[in-house]
Structure 1
Amino acid sequence: MDSWVRLSAQSQAKDRLFRTAQYACTLLGYTLAKGGAGGELLAKVKQLEGHLSLGRKLLRLGNSTDALEAAKRAVHLSDGVLRLCITVAHLNRAMYFACDNVLWAGRTGLLPKLDQDKWSQRSFRYYLFALILSLTRDAYEISLLMERESRAGGGAGKISGGSLPSSFQENGELLPNAVTTERAPLLGPLSALVHRRLLLLVTVLRANPPLTLDLLKNLLDIFIPLDRLGLYRTGPGFVGACGLTSSILGLLTMVYPWLKLKP
């Protein structure tokens, strides 16, 4: 089992590198097309992108097993919301990887009669569900940390060593002269509440780099299945930029494991 874990970790690192190169090609192809590059060059970039995608699918053979094992571990989490979100997200990833494995077999000729468009759409649906659940988990953890910070009384008063504007006290309340000073046109009960919540959000995100990184990565990634499924068209340039950025963020969690969100 230890050998399998080590092999899986190496495959995941290579997959991240292939993913980074793949979306770099997507963005490069879009940029070249906008710049009026020749068809031969665009065809080569597109071909390289296809080879990288196929290589990633090969590296992910067996990843469904890892996702199922992660789901089994998540079942034992004490928090009910986290248990539900993480477990179901891993199950969707397992199905996503399984569909990807079938696609790999189709594109290599092992399953010549496979309807690749159908399986690709199915794969991206599972990927989208997994991302939605991951974002739900991120939002839930942020809300818990904001509530804890608010009760502690320090979240609205400081932001990682910085200080609030003079119109606010340490507990986030408005000073009597706040309406007539810095934010007079905007302040009121609602705007003051929104401002305090934003300060809490910034505090929580700056104090929890793994959570911030996971949130950014999921927000960027979700545009990929939305575009591929036709639910929200953004175009290859935007998809390439999102995929490239999220891949780089993913590589950071491989280089610096403490940045990976747990559990």
Structure 2
Amino acid sequence: MEAFIRFTNQTQGRERLFRATQYTCMLLRYLLEPKADKEKVVMKLKKLESSVSTGRKWFRLGNVVHAVQATEQSIHTTDLVPRLCLTLANLNRVVYFICDTVLWVRSVGLASGINKEKWRTWAARHYYYFLLLNLVRDLYELSLQMEQVARDRANREQSPSQDPLGYSVADEETEWLQSFLLLLFRSLRKHPPLLLDTVKNLCDILNPLAQLGIYKSNAGIIGLGGLVSSLVGIVTVAWPHMKLKTH
């Protein structure tokens, strides 16, 4: 109970719960829409989804300051590739939160002359760039992990006969693929924060891909991806050691 109270006392924790609720409503609405006797339930889910989405905008107000701070921190990352990816990603995140704030101002009626569709497209584009750059960073970190696991395995295995799987990687092309997948699995299992961050970014990128017309997904796929991403976000907020750290 104390852990739950500590989690909900954080703004990020409450935002993750709201986000999970929003995408759960989207997923359930998609699943129930084809059923003729579920119109009232679908309407209630749609209203709840809209209300939760509006509530999340309040939690995001001021996030542009955190994004600027994250940009300043990423500049000091020692490794060149993560430094470049994270700095550019956080700059796009700054622009995204600026667009998001402008859209909030438009939604509450403080400035009715704002072109909603244009700002929404800009927000989706910069959010897409932010996620894409984070995925590049994830792939780079994964390649380092796979290289390390391969080195450790090579040190343990002095000859092909000592291979725990009983075959040499060079025997057949299919065995090369199996070896690669096994290496990938071992690398991700050894580094759970990298696995969670990669899954989160892959799930999150579905939404801007659909908004920008790059890859169309239905509401069910986007809802499922958003729910999985939100659950990962809840895990990283509740257990900070599960969040991928910069070096």
TM-score (norm 2): 0.88
The alignment covers a number of residue pairs equal to 234
More helix by share: 2
Once the two structures are superposed, residues 243-262 of structure 1 have per-residue CA deviations (whole angstroms, 9 ceiling, x without a partner) of 01110111011111111000
Alignment partner, residue 247 of structure 1:
230
Confirm or deny that 1:195 pairs with 2:178: yes
Confirm or deny that 1:146 pairs with 2:129: no
Q: Which amino acid aligns with 2:98?
A: A
Alignment partner, residue 81 of structure 1:
81
Q: d(CA) in 2 for partners of 1:124 and 1:164?
A: 47
Once the two structures are superposed, residues 85-123 of structure 1 have per-residue CA deviations (whole angstroms, 9 ceiling, x without a partner) of 111111111111111111111111111222212111111
SS of corresponding position for 2:148: helix
Q: d(CA) in 2 for partners of 1:128 and 1:142?
A: 21
Alignment partner, residue 221 of structure 1:
204
Q: d(CA) in 1 for partners of 2:178 and 2:31?
A: 39
Aligned-pair RMSD on alpha carbons? 2.1
Q: Which amino acid aligns with 1:61?
A: L
1:195 positional shift: 2.7
The structure that has the greater radius of gyration is: 1
Q: Which amino acid aligns with 1:84?
A: L
Confirm or deny that 1:116 pairs with 2:104: no
**Structure 1 stretches of 5 or more lacking a match?**
1-5, 158-162, 175-186
**Structure 2 stretches of 5 or more lacking a match?**
1-5, 158-162
- 1:110–1:156 Cα change, 3 Å: farther
Once the two structures are superposed, residues 199-253 of structure 1 have per-residue CA deviations (whole angstroms, 9 ceiling, x without a partner) of 2111110000000011111111111111122221111111111101110111011
**8 Å CA contact retained: 1:71, 1:91:** yes
Alignment partner, residue 35 of structure 1:
35
- 1:35–1:154 Cα change, 3 Å: farther
Alignment partner, residue 207 of structure 1:
190
SS of corresponding position for 1:153: helix
Query: Bigger relative contact order, structure 1 or 2, given CA contacts below 8 A and separation 6+?
Result: 2
- 1:196–1:46 Cα change, 3 Å: same
1:55 positional shift: 0.9
Confirm or deny that 1:11 pairs with 2:6: no
1:38 positional shift: 4.5
**8 Å CA contact retained: 1:135, 1:219:** yes
Q: Which amino acid aligns with 2:53?
A: S
- 1:123–1:156 Cα change, 3 Å: farther
TM-score (norm 1): 0.83
